[in-house]
């Protein structure tokens, strides 16, 4: 199977209004943010406004048994939280140091 030959994109000489008109004409979907809803958590926003730098994080990938993944996902749904939050709580309960700011659901990272 051969790869398609894509043309390189060159910088456009069109302004944003012209692009919006083309998007409207072509029916290109757009994201609309509803008032009162934020994509960033309140804790993160408060931290940024206070001038506190975002905590550095590192991705950790592990392989665990399928039944355990299923159990963790089920528990996360029951508690209406994230897998990350459950894992950090378990590490804290096992005696590892986990800052309380890092235990806030949505505080850094996604699933």
Classified as helix, coil or strand, 23 is helix
Determine if the pTM surpasses 0.75: no
Q: How far apart are CA 40 and CA 105, in angstroms?
A: 11
Report if residue 45 sits inside a domain. Answer: no
Q: Does residue 87 belong to any structural domain of this protein?
A: yes
Residue 34 located in a structural domain = no
Name the CA dihedral angle for 73, 75, 79, 81, rounded to a multiple of 10 degrees: -30
**Backbone phi, psi, residue 105, to 5°:** -60, 135
Average pLDDT over residues 49-56: 56
Average pLDDT over residues 29-44: 62
**Domain assignment of residue 102, given as a range:** 57-111
Neighbours of 84 (CB within 10 A): 19
The pLDDT, as a whole number, for residue 54 is 58
Separation between Cα atoms, residue 74 and residue 110, nearest integer Å: 17
3 state DSSP class of 55: coil
Is residue 101 one of the residues assigned to a domain? Answer: yes
The reported pLDDT for the residue numbered 39 is 52
- The answer to the question of residue 2 being in a domain is no
Q: What is the count of structural domains for the chain?
A: 1
């Amino acid at each position: 199977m051969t790869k398609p030959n894509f043309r390189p994109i060159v910088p456009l000489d069109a302004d944003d209004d012209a692009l919006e008109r083309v998007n409207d004409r072509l029916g290109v979907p757009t994201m609309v943010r509803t008032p009162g809803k934020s994509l960033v958590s309140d804790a993160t926003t408060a931290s940024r406004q206070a001038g506190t730098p975002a905590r550095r994080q590192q991705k950790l990938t592990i392989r665990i048994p399928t039944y355990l993944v299923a159990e963790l996902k089920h528990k996360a749904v029951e508690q209406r939280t994230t897998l990350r939050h459950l894992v950090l709580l378990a590490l804290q309960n096992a005696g590892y140091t986990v800052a309380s700011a890092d235990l806030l659901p949505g505080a850094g990272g996604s699933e």
